Amino acid sequence: MQSNLGGHRASIDKSYNLNSLLQGDGKNQTNIFLRKILENAEACIVLVGTVDFLHRPITAFVRLSQGRTLGHVTEVSLPIRFIFLLLGPKDPIVDYFEIGRALSGLMSHPNFREAAYIADSRSDILDAVLDYLDEAMVLPSGDWDKNTLLPVMEKAKLKADKHKEDDADHVDHPDIDPYGDPLKRTGRPFGGLVNDIRRRYPKYLSDIKDGLNIQCLATIFFIYFTCLSPAITFGGLLTEKTHRWLGVSEMLVGVSIIGLVFAIFSGQPLLIVGATGPLLVFEEALSEVCELLDIDFISFRVWIGFWVTLMTFLVVAVEGSFFIRYFTRFIQEIFAMLISLILILETLKKLVIIFIKHPLLDYYPPQGETILDRCLHYFYDHLPSNITSDDIMKSTLSPIDEIEGEHHYTKEELNFQPNTALLSIILCFGTFAIAWWLKGFKTGHMLGRRPRQILGDFAMPIAILLMVLVDFFIEDTYTEKLAVPDGIQPTAGYKRGWFISPLGSSQKTLQVWAYFAAIIPAFLMFILVFMETEVTSMILDQKDRKLSKGSGYHLDLLLVGSFATLCGLCGFPFVCPATLRSISHIAGLSVFSQTHAPGEKAHLLEVKEQRLTAFCVHLLIGVSVLMGPLLRQIPIAVLFGVFFYMGVASMHGIQLAERLKLMFMPVKHHPNVGYVRKVRPWKMHVYTFIQVGCLTLLGVVKFTRASLSFPLLLLLLVPFRLKLMPLIFSEKELAHVSILMH
């Protein structure tokens, strides 16, 4: 029996190199467990047995002055520092093996191990055993469910951590941020911004040096595909939503330029900027309002961007980032659920439109015959005898070519194409199914760990590629493709360029009153930008991520707000930090322990905090603009599948979705989590009903002409949660289901 001791010891005179052990001879030295053991680790061997020549047990516990390699005594060849020997006569009452197991358990505990290294007498060892028993949790034998024990163990761990924090309050910590809480107001104009600059920019050189490693290189390609898929998807949908004022070209160029600037100057370069669901909804609603009020959409966006920048400047001046603390989980869950449902419903809506354009019929017009041709033929067959078709055409109808040119339709798009709707269904849900399966494949048991990880990380690009190939080889069925121009030019180059005049476009002049009317949608957009930027920053800045270079809440918000003016003047889609892409970025840069025991969860060692990965990713996105011929091979239905996947995947981990399922589940089958254990079921369901009601209200507003105002309703949920919810629920209940952000 043996116990391995990890960690560095000041008392060790000789350093043992595990690499030399790995290169030695013998099967024990090449054991895979050796690769899981820390450098400079030492072993403790526990030897127990029964003999006939002893009348009573004898025990010896030996600590060597230095670690010694004693042949193949241990399973892996490690220097041995401790030897425990127990011999005794056969006794049906005494189980020597269990005593050995107990000693091994003691040596695996860090506190007892520390005491064993410095003990000078037997009493020191006995005191260490008593200290261990004081901390240990002893349970009677029985059939214990580990899920039942988790709350007890968690409570004990929290209690122990509290003692450690109390002890740590009396010790100076040199690593604590000298500028304090980044969200705490200083009381000075731009005080938070100044602290962000002082905190982050002195580490600029290390931000470059830390990016020069192989892990960052691998992350660049992973995040590139992670960002390219939604950029193409959002750009393709904006083409239709904005009547081709915005599209894939504008999305790729805009995300590239803004991402490069953000990677250079940001306070938290791990953030990945790009198009998001909320901003897509805003762009769609803005386009509908402009069409309703006969306002030039593309020029109106310039003034919106200007006012957003001005509002951001004022908020940063008064250190308004602290307000994000009041956006509780109550609001975040409603917001996240709304975006997920919008993505799913938008996909289904687009598929229905495809079925309307290309219905399943018993008879399809011959190739080249438009539905207009078919209607005219039917009309001519039923004309009175004294009226000819030539009279009708001359007096009432314009040439067909003129009609087609006016609406920018191609002749092929006007056809009722056979099997188009069915193939679109296959492409859409095939993309979703492949991406979903490969993402789950990452946590499966097939293949090795590395192949599973690669397939899981590149699930979406693989799904898109496979479905594009399916569409490519089915040549006889028409599917609508992504509209991408050649080279670096706008999607609708015939009506706009790369500079947008704030006074109006060539087609329509912007009225003076619209300059100031843009303040209203600008305020609504600022709410979205503020929430997306600050919430994403807080998620990345959590303590368990072990970031050491600090954050930049005020600096990043100012940059994102300034980008709004750039997006307006250049005709780029509005962008902000994307939560899921930023989390994927930091996950790719995380370094985990390689020395954990088999079956034990690896713990995070560090995150490669640098600027090179974000810079290179957005540079590659800019180069992707030149892939127009390839992008034009992507069917729109495949992008719908990406949308559907994003909507379904976004629901994962939302507590509101979990509680909705609990409403239809017997209480005995409820999971053993905090908000279930600490909150009565009926109270939990009331809380869920309130959230669903707020979600329904936001959804109704979203699908009406007042859709542009949904960010304002989202903002009104803050006082609703802080002032009205405490009248229904106790503080303890709210603490478990809707905590304030820290």
HEC secondary structure over 703-727: CCCCHHHHHHHHHHHHHHHHHHHHH
Per-residue DSSP letter, 121:
S
For residues 681 and 669, what is the distance between their CA atoms, to the nearest angstrom? 12
For residues 97 and 102, what is the distance between their CA atoms, to the nearest angstrom? 9
Longest dimension (CA), the chain: 130
Order of strands, sheet of 42-50, starting from the edge strand that comes earlier in the sequence: 2-5, 42-50, 80-88, 58-68
How many other CB atoms are there within 10 angstroms of residue 362's CB atom? 4
pLDDT of residue 308: 93
For residues 619 and 621, what is the distance between their CA atoms, to the nearest angstrom? 5
Low-confidence ranges of the chain (pLDDT < 70): 1-35, 138-180, 361-417, 442, 594-602, 672-675, 738-742
Angle, alpha carbons 31-36-37 (nearest 5°):
95
For residues 423 and 428, what is the distance between their CA atoms, to the nearest angstrom? 9
For residues 478 and 206, what is the distance between their CA atoms, to the nearest angstrom? 53
Q: Which stretches of 256-295 are assigned E, i.e. beta strand? A: 273-274
Q: Identify any residues that bridge with 677 across adjacent strands, giving them in sequence order.
A: none
pLDDT of residue 180: 64
For 520, counting Cβ atoms within 10 Å of its Cβ (0-12 exposed, 13-18 middle, 19+ buried), the class is middle
What's the pTM value of the predicted model, to 2 decimals?
Answer: 0.70
Q: Identify any residues that bridge with 87 across adjacent strands, giving them in sequence order.
A: 49, 58
pLDDT of residue 686: 84
Structure tokens at 91: 């006794």
For residues 66 and 245, what is the distance between their CA atoms, to the nearest angstrom? 75
pLDDT of residue 174: 42
pLDDT of residue 37: 73
pLDDT of residue 355: 84
Q: How far is CA 272 from CA 479, 528, 556, 577, 582, in A?
A: 32, 16, 11, 5, 5
pLDDT of residue 163: 53
- For every residue of 658-677, DSSP letters joined together read HHHHHTTS-GGG----HHHH
Residues near 295 by beta carbon (within 8 Å), at least 6 away in sequence: 289, 510, 511, 514
- The answer to whether 427 and 643 are in contact (CB under 8 A) is no
Domain boundaries, the chain: 2-140, 191-353+433-650, 653-742
Q: Which of 66, 53, 69, 89 is nearest to 20 (CA)?
A: 69
pLDDT of residue 382: 56
CATH number of the domain at 2-140, please? Answer: 3.40.930.10
